[in-house]
Amino acid sequence: MKYDAMDFVRRCESCQLHSNMSHRPHTDLRALQSPWSFAQWGLDILGPFSLTPGQRKFLIIGINYFTKWVEAVLLAKITEQNATEFLRQNIVCRFGVPECVVTDNGTQFTGKRFTKYCASLRINLVHTSVAYPQANGQVEVTNRTILHRQKTKLESSEGSWVHELPSILWSYRTTPREPTRETPFNLCYGVEAVIPIEVCLTSPRVGCFSATDNNQRLRESLDALEEVRDQARLRKAIYQQRVARYYNKKVKARQFEVGDLVLRSVETTGKIAGRNKLSPN
């Protein structure tokens, strides 16, 4: 009778539907590698924000996986045409044809026009799993950083966020990123950007500027760019290994056999009608 009672409790359907879900990862972390500097990009939509002139309330964001360079454009509507034009104008026409583009499952990224454009350039279009934004973690981290800086700068003046966006992107591009320990600006252009404080306090490179030596210094910087990128690529690999070791310590593998009965989670890109706080997990 004891074992029958234990078996009955284990098979309780209501208990299974409402039991706590395990949030521990089930597989090891797999880091994404970029074969060349601008080979891999992640795209995402951020918003809605408060309305701005032109009824623009969304941001489409692109982040390069290696240099961490970020591109962002204001949108009034989230459409497949806008997503395609962003990829063409802000990525392909500026940084060349990428090898891979990672997006979520929004219709603006899964529609015929966007997929056809990627196929025409032989871009490997990767869609992340539904309701699993961690698969495009680079973009999610960038979104969080941009949102945090917007809130910090604006406080109560939410309507002026569009005017602060360029300076927020500028600060992101000129701040060293932890994985590479280099600024996105330097990894893109081979030199560090001149920031306002260098002009106000006259840094050595501003105060000692010489027009006759400038071309030679630019050539030296460009010659050293590949070495800088190689060092950044090595630092990034070491950083990814360190993060993976920490993450993999929390992994709890789950093994299933053919014929096992499991509860299947129905994921969706939108809200489920009729679902509330008392609904099954």
Q: How confident is the model at residue 157 (pLDDT cuts 50, 70, 90)?
A: low
Task: Give burial (CB, 10 Å; 0-12/13-18/19+) of 58.
Answer: middle
Catalogue all structural domains in the chain, each as residue range(s) with its CATH number: 29-173 (3.30.420.10), 176-249 (no CATH)
Q: Is the pLDDT score of 269 beyond 70? A: no
Token pair, residue 165, equals 């966006």
What local confidence, expressed as pLDDT, does residue 278 receive?
45
Measured in Å, how far apart are the chain's first and last C-alpha atoms? 31
270: number of CA atoms within 13 Å, CB side? 5
What local confidence, expressed as pLDDT, does residue 277 receive?
44
Q: Stretch 185-209: mean pLDDT, rounded? A: 81
Condensed to tens digits (0 to 9), the pLDDT of residues 34-44 reads 767 899 999 99
Condensed to tens digits (0 to 9), the pLDDT of residues 55-75 reads 888 999 999 999 999 999 999
Q: Is the pTM of this model over 0.85?
A: no
Distance of CA 59 to CAs 29, 77, 120, 200, 254, Å?
29, 10, 25, 33, 38
